[in-house]
Structure 1
Amino acid sequence: MLAVMALLAVSCIKDEPVCGTCEDNPDGKGILLSFSAGTDTRSNLYSSEVDYRDVKAVCLYVFRGTDANAECILSEDVDWQGDISQTYWISTDLSAGSYTFLAIGTDDNAGSVYGLTADYRGTLGDCMARLAEGKEKADMATAQFFAGYVTRTVAEEEDVVDVEVTLTRKVAGVLAYLKNIPCWVDFRSGKATVTDLRISLGSSQNTQMALWNVSAGNAVYGSEPLESGDKVLFEVDLTADSYTPDAEGRYYTKKGIKTDELQTVDNSLLRGAFLLPLAESKESTLKLELLGFYTTGDGTEYQNVVVKTYTIQNSEGKQIFSIDENKLYCIGKKLSDASTDGDKPADLSGNILQVNVIKWNDIEVDNSFPTVIGPARIESDYNQKVYIFDAPETEFPVYLQASSPVKEWRLKVCYYNETNKASFSGVEVGAYEAETPQENWIHFAVTDAEGKPTGEYESEITDPNGDGRILTVVLNDFAVQRTLEGEGSGKYYIVTEDMVEKLKKDYRTAYIEIYTSGTVEPYRLLVRQYNALTIYAGATKDVPNGFRAAARLDYGCHFDKETGAMVRTDTAAVGWGYWSSIPINITGDLTETDYWVGAVNTINAYNRYKKGSLGGENYVESILQKLRKEVIEIAADGTYTSDENKIWCLPAYHEMWGVADYINPNRKTGEACQDLFNMKVGDKYWCSTIKDNDINESLYIPAGTTNYLQEADRDDKLYARPIRQFYTN
């Protein structure tokens, strides 16, 4: 058995690899690794500079044999200390024979992203960087790794065999440094408003790459494209990223980044991403696309449409080319992170862009600043440009994506008001917000160490560790009474179409903002929530002013998260429940349930259920239970007091009549109100009212008609609209 010494000479920026015999071998048998200065690695792509000090781990795989079937007999973490001058000893005992020595260096992301760890056991042919389970495109963008291998035959008579391995970068990089980003572009027969910018590839990104090449010297490309087929390398939501129009409304503006770690010129955009090498396809290799919205002549609005595509060609005028390992593809010029000297962002006021292809080994800039490739971000499952939440309290998850490298972040809410107005430039705010701005209506649910909710809420969170996490956002109920006009009959209606249009835009607006340490501007998520619709249903002792608040959607309906349009599902029409039950076994009333206040009926039924009263068990799965929802008003300090008597509920007869009467086509605004209320003439709506001691029937209202006092079997499938009272008014 012989000891083997491996000398790893890592590829320099300017110098040739150095090979020699180490003189300070520890006693025993093993492998001694050393590194030459100039390793060009970094896990942050914001310029063409490089720095070996961002290497976080190095491991060595030793295979017995030199072909694809060679088995890995040793995989070892070399305990990298971040010092290029150190040598690393790995104790092992190798018998005579042929071996392949494969070394891998990773940044602080690549090890977990691609499964490049020191516990590999497999063959040389199957030794690959593979996208790990749970990792995705965003993780690949911040991960790079290096690899190199050499084969050696260990002879019986040799005591020590010098093995020289050169590490080379296995990923490629795409860097975009841009200026004059247009706020609008000519599109079809008009103009389109630009909202997003993205860089796309000719084919979907690869998710794995061989670390050993049977044909040495040939280009190695990745394989196994993303299952989603996603070709987008990265996308920037300009509003969320704090870009605002200039004074003329022509180009987007934003102050340049001016930190110790990164400097950019004003009104520019800088993004970069690593990716696995990509063979050329039949489509243009790189595309820069502007996305936005436009309105046709008939008033139809289209969202998230590609409104302009820039031609990107290389220095040879070709649009189709491969993306090779160890090369940087630059759109615009950015030499150094910490300086704007020599900066030349690509100009988007034209139509053609050139990509400059640079071998990383040829880059002569020497700069050691670490860089934030991207600040912490907030990811949601809805299209913030068009989606608006309904009035009842709601909870939804957001994913807080850690910055790269990971840094402390702070999460807070910025509400629209006179002070913050500038932050909402380019955002259409609610029609009533200028006169009655809303604040303290967004909170974050607190969880314990196991991720379980504690019942507490916060309006601001700081994480010194900068970890990514899933967070639950809670929106309070939005039910503020609006002024309606009387018609002399003691009732109040929406009497003009201008008022209908104003009520369609009655929502409140805020940003959830996340600030990354070292950056000035936050990443933002736009949140908007509709106010409930004010309706008049008659004054009673329980509701002296006669007004109620109606949700904008029926039970079982929702706004589409991509388009914002109302969606009526197959489960929207439901039975009433309480089959073969008389009022006394539902609400405790002798012959009839309440005609005026639905909350009375629901509260009585709920209390009978809690007490275990006769028939109370039928409350479960009834329409009364399905629509009952406590009014949520979390205070500014995060406290919340439950009140079982303040609820959303199924309307009583006169309340549902009050809602449905607004869309009556005989009224001046009846037709316009159908869109406002998301309701059609003739649709049947359950009431919580039962008359004449009925056993199997309950009252319903046919919307927009005068034929109101109707009964239906409780197993019929009808619609239901939640309402509540203006408890705070």
Structure 2
Amino acid sequence: MKKNYLLAAMASGVMLFSACSNDEAIMDGSDNNAEQTLVLQVASTGDNLTTRAGRPLLSSEAKQTIDNVKVIICQGTGNGNVKYVQTIDQWSAEANASSKPYGGATGGHGREAIIKLADGDKLAAGEYTVYAFGYSDNSDYTDLAAKITGITQGGDFNENVTLTLNKIGEEIFAGSCELKVEDGKGFYTPVILNRQVAGTMAYLTDIPCVAGGTKLQLVASDRNTNLVLGHFANHDLDGNGTATDANVNYVVNGTATATDKVIYEIALDDWFNNPALDADKNGLIDVDNNNWKGESTKYAKGSVFAGNFVIPFAKTSENTFTLQLVDNASTILKSWKVKLPTGDKQLSTHTSYIWNNNTFTENVTVQDAADKFNVVRNHLYSIGTRTLDAPTQPGTDPDDKPESLVNKQELVLKVNDNWEVIHNMELE
């Protein structure tokens, strides 16, 4: 059997596609001996899972940790009766993994598995929709089992699945494609799974020493608890945060506003032995004399870091992000407005798609403001630059540079997508 592998997938996506048999015929409704084969490729899979479900967001590095992939093929386009299901688990397990590495001379990097539809599972001629979902073990999406992983052949499946999350954010991938199986004819159609959540992180240095200050926190104008899996991008990305305008999507696929708008917190005593120490009276927390206790092999000396995946949300009349220095009672001692830099893609006129509790509404000629903007799917919004989880020279590498908080009232965001876009946000 001749196999065709598409190796251009990067960390933003997972590819599910047909492997060719006899050059052209892949799925043939008239010949039950024709092989119907799906090749599943996950590019740049990460193996270091340090949270209960999903990976932590430690940098803008293009990676993902998918433990399982669920494939659902439905009759017709959109919602339909389920004709085939398959779950690939232990995707990247250290022992007896269900997938295998690929790469070598091709330059690819990731894992792949092949699914052959048995004679009893082969699709008859007709129109179908293929859905695929990549997710983590012990996921914190509370209804994942009922709405995706528990779907069986013979039942019905509805697109625009809404999942409830009991924490800020968790990485999950999804995609779909429509296909037509014809008698005597095959097809070669990729299904690309893209990241369905956004991300935000802060890599900071020169931390102000303010009496009573105990933590830094990023507060958003809104936060959602439900994630809608629909209106998929279904395109591959060949760069991390460098997608062309034609491939950049602005999708807000979140709903159900949360009361707590804090996205992440940085406890200063996790990074400094004494956050109140300012021996040289320069207004900053002392770094020397063993006061900074961060990991020098991972972070620039004197820096602090936090990051989180987040369900996308629409802009409001308030600043989208604000960085705050607070005390134990959450009293705000100092704050910084966070904004997109001049020239950011999201400040140009674009089309957005926002979930309105029933469908995705298309909004043409949208133009966000630097401080009030939609937080969209598969975009990373960062303060400071940190491109690797484990940089070789933290703080000295040009791709590893924390943002200083000295003499600033606003911070600049950097946005990355293979993340489709990496938004480097600004502080003022």
Aligned equivalent of 1:357: 415
Q: CA deviation at 1:361?
A: 4.9
Aligned equivalent of 2:351: none
Match of 1:11 among 9, 25, 34: 9
CA offsets, 1:235-290, max 9 Å, x none?
2332366552242463334233145xxx1012211111001222222211111011
- Supply the distance in 2 between the matched residues of 1:123 and 1:161 (Cα, whole angstroms): 25
Contact 1:198 1:235 in 2 (8 A): yes
- The correspondence of residues 227-242 of structure 1 with structure 2, limited to 5 A, is 228-239=258-269, 242=272
- Supply the distance in 1 between the matched residues of 2:13 and 2:222 (Cα, whole angstroms): 36
- Supply the distance in 1 between the matched residues of 2:321 and 2:389 (Cα, whole angstroms): 24
- The correspondence of residues 41-60 of structure 1 with structure 2, limited to 5 A, is 43-51=55-63, 54-60=65-71
- The correspondence of residues 194-213 of structure 1 with structure 2, limited to 5 A, is 194-212=213-231
- Supply the distance in 2 between the matched residues of 1:101 and 1:18 (Cα, whole angstroms): 9
- The correspondence of residues 290-305 of structure 1 with structure 2, limited to 5 A, is 290-292=325-327, 303-305=329-331
- Supply the distance in 2 between the matched residues of 1:305 and 1:234 (Cα, whole angstroms): 16
CA offsets, 1:527-550, max 9 Å, x none?
xxxxxxxxxxxxxxxxxxxxxxxx
Contact 1:334 1:345 in 2 (8 A): yes
Q: CA deviation at 1:13?
A: 6.1
Contact 2:68 2:134 in 1 (8 A): yes
Note closer, same or farther for the CA distance 1:39–1:150 as it changes in structure 2 (3 Å cut): farther
Question: 1:103 and 2:136 equivalent?
Answer: no
- Supply the distance in 2 between the matched residues of 1:308 and 1:348 (Cα, whole angstroms): 11
- Supply the distance in 2 between the matched residues of 1:124 and 1:39 (Cα, whole angstroms): 28
Q: CA deviation at 1:351?
A: 1.3
Question: 1:247 and 2:279 equivalent?
Answer: yes
Q: CA deviation at 1:225?
A: 2.4
State the TM-score, normalized to the length of structure 1: 0.41
Aligned equivalent of 1:73: 83
CA offsets, 1:191-240, max 9 Å, x none?
x53122110111123422123459999643233324x4111101233236
**SS of residue matched to 2:309:** strand
The residue identity in structure 2 corresponding to 1:88 is: I
Gap runs ≥5 in structure 2: 27-31, 48-53, 92-97, 103-111, 236-246, 343-368, 423-428
CA offsets, 1:326-349, max 9 Å, x none?
211110111222221222211122
CA offsets, 1:655-706, max 9 Å, x none?
xxxxxxxxxxxxxxxxxxxxxxxxxxxxxxxxxxxxxxxxxxxxxxxxxxxx
Aligned equivalent of 2:347: none
CA offsets, 1:140-190, max 9 Å, x none?
2xx2111111101112333x4333111211111101001122221xxxxxx
Contact 1:9 1:165 in 2 (8 A): no
Note closer, same or farther for the CA distance 1:16–1:103 as it changes in structure 2 (3 Å cut): closer
Q: CA deviation at 1:14?
A: 11
Match of 2:194 among 168, 190, 194: 168
Aligned equivalent of 1:718: none
Aligned equivalent of 1:89: 115
Contact 1:20 1:162 in 2 (8 A): yes
Note closer, same or farther for the CA distance 1:15–1:221 as it changes in structure 2 (3 Å cut): closer
Gap runs ≥5 in structure 1: 185-191, 294-302, 365-729
**SS of residue matched to 1:239:** helix
Note closer, same or farther for the CA distance 1:214–1:152 as it changes in structure 2 (3 Å cut): same
Aligned equivalent of 1:330: 382
- Supply the distance in 2 between the matched residues of 1:278 and 1:14 (Cα, whole angstroms): 20
**SS of residue matched to 2:190:** strand
Question: 1:256 and 2:294 equivalent?
Answer: yes
The residue identity in structure 1 corresponding to 2:63 is: D
- The correspondence of residues 240-389 of structure 1 with structure 2, limited to 5 A, is 242-244=272-274, 245-248=277-280, 250-252=283-285, 253=287, 254-258=292-296, 263-292=298-327, 303-316=329-342, 318-339=370-391, 340=394, 341-342=397-398, 343-349=400-406, 350-361=408-419
- The correspondence of residues 428-439 of structure 1 with structure 2, limited to 5 A, is none
- The correspondence of residues 266-665 of structure 1 with structure 2, limited to 5 A, is 266-292=301-327, 303-316=329-342, 318-339=370-391, 340=394, 341-342=397-398, 343-349=400-406, 350-361=408-419
Q: CA deviation at 1:90?
A: 4.4
- Supply the distance in 1 between the matched residues of 2:131 and 2:19 (Cα, whole angstroms): 19
- Supply the distance in 1 between the matched residues of 2:56 and 2:76 (Cα, whole angstroms): 36
- Supply the distance in 2 between the matched residues of 1:73 and 1:16 (Cα, whole angstroms): 22
Aligned equivalent of 1:531: none
Note closer, same or farther for the CA distance 1:120–1:247 as it changes in structure 2 (3 Å cut): farther
Q: CA deviation at 1:307?
A: 1.9
The structure where helix makes up a greater share of residues is 1
Note closer, same or farther for the CA distance 1:74–1:193 as it changes in structure 2 (3 Å cut): same
Q: CA deviation at 1:82?
A: 4.4
**SS of residue matched to 1:59:** strand
Aligned equivalent of 2:51: none
Contact 1:12 1:40 in 2 (8 A): no
Match of 2:254 among 215, 223, 227: 223
Match of 2:149 among 102, 118, 121: 118
- Supply the distance in 2 between the matched residues of 1:59 and 1:7 (Cα, whole angstroms): 20
- Supply the distance in 1 between the matched residues of 2:221 and 2:208 (Cα, whole angstroms): 24
The residue identity in structure 2 corresponding to 1:203 is: D
- Supply the distance in 2 between the matched residues of 1:119 and 1:359 (Cα, whole angstroms): 30
The residue identity in structure 2 corresponding to 1:330 is: S
**SS of residue matched to 1:163:** coil
State the TM-score, normalized to the length of structure 2: 0.66
**SS of residue matched to 1:35:** strand
Note closer, same or farther for the CA distance 1:331–1:205 as it changes in structure 2 (3 Å cut): same
- The correspondence of residues 149-164 of structure 1 with structure 2, limited to 5 A, is 149-158=176-185, 160-164=186-190
CA offsets, 1:579-605, max 9 Å, x none?
xxxxxxxxxxxxxxxxxxxxxxxxxxx
The structure where strand makes up a greater share of residues is 2
**SS of residue matched to 1:360:** coil
Q: CA deviation at 1:75?
A: 2.8
CA offsets, 1:423-452, max 9 Å, x none?
xxxxxxxxxxxxxxxxxxxxxxxxxxxxxx
- Supply the distance in 2 between the matched residues of 1:19 and 1:125 (Cα, whole angstroms): 22
- Supply the distance in 2 between the matched residues of 1:290 and 1:113 (Cα, whole angstroms): 32
Match of 2:171 among 144, 152, 155: 144
CA offsets, 1:310-332, max 9 Å, x none?
01110137101111222111101
**SS of residue matched to 2:208:** coil
Structure of greater relative contact order (alpha carbons < 8 Å, 6+ residues apart): 2
Match of 1:131 among 164, 171, 175: 164
Contact 2:227 2:311 in 1 (8 A): yes
The residue identity in structure 2 corresponding to 1:83 is: K
Note closer, same or farther for the CA distance 1:84–1:327 as it changes in structure 2 (3 Å cut): farther
RMSD of aligned Cα (Å): 3.8
